[in-house]
Amino acid sequence: MMYAKVIPVQLINMLGYDVLFQDVDIIWYKDPLLLFHDESSPVAEFDMMFQDDGARSVRYAPYSANSGFYYVRHNAKTRYAFTSLLYSGDVIQATQSHQQALSYILTEHSSLFGLKVKVLNEKEYPGGFHYHGRNWKDFMREIGLGTRIPTLFHMSWTLNKDNKVLFMKQMGMWYLSNKCEAKKAEELFKLDPSDEKDLTAPCCSAKPIISCHYSDKPSAVNCNDSPKIDKKGKPFWPK
């Protein structure tokens, strides 16, 4: 699975294109490509730009780059870096992490070959580190209430897919109708009997579909009547 995240980026980069890679547990509030494509922006000089992972362990040092959201400009330096990552299957297998293998390559190639790596502002590109962090509750409330609008949010640092979905639902980051969840394509197409097979109207909401699941996790509305997910968890919203 981890190696599968390497191949498509390497192939597209090798064909001569810039690449934006992201995991599926990300919601956009703004279009990040506007910044990446702006030749007058502060990040225009960088070859690769990453979301800040939040981890400060040696494993991902020195950049703490999150491999779940990054942008790569096509040039000789990035082409060499991703070819090196493609040949690092043994490292990915040994560490069970393509992010760790990528961290090694970023460090080596920036030092030896002048690869320019940028880690994006964590408040503009927040993620699971902020969602689960004790010191970020006010920050998450601002996002939930809409008084702070980051470029995107990445529900990383979360144990499994089921929890990711529940957390996104109560944070107002979910726009898929319940009747369309976990359905096969042939089932969904029955919702639109026309030849166009447009699932936007029956499946997608223009406004977030908010539902409460855990009182001790960040939410866009007060979820204090919901159970806790952590034994020692405290209500996210003041009583």
Distance from CA of residue 81 to its chain's centroid? 22
Q: Which residue has the tokens 């400060």?
A: 56
Query: Residue 54: what pLDDT?
Result: 96
Q: Which parts of the chain sit beneath pLDDT 50?
A: none
The label of the residue with tokens 């952590």 reads: 230
Closest CA to 113 of 58, 48, 62: 48
Q: What does DSSP say about strands 48-52 and 19-22: parallel, antiparallel, or unpaired?
A: unpaired
Q: Which ranges of the chain does DSSP label H, i.e. alpha helix? A: 7-14, 33-37, 76-86, 89-95, 98-112, 128-132, 137-145, 161-170, 185-189, 200-203
User: Could you write out the DSSP letters of every residue in 172-192?
Assistant: T---B-GGGTT--HHHHHTT-
Dump pLDDT digits (tens) for 74-86. Answer: 999 999 999 999 9
Beta bridge partners of 49: 71, 118
Q: What is the pLDDT of residue 195?
A: 66
Length reported for the chain: 239
pTM of the model: 0.94
Q: Residue 21 is inside which H or E element, if any?
A: strand 19-22
What's the pLDDT score for residue 141?
A: 98
Q: How far is it, in rounded angstroms, from Cα 75 to Cα 115?
A: 10
- Residues 41 and 74: their CA atoms lie apart, in Å, by 17
Return the pLDDT at 194.
74
What is the structure's pLDDT at 185?
A: 83
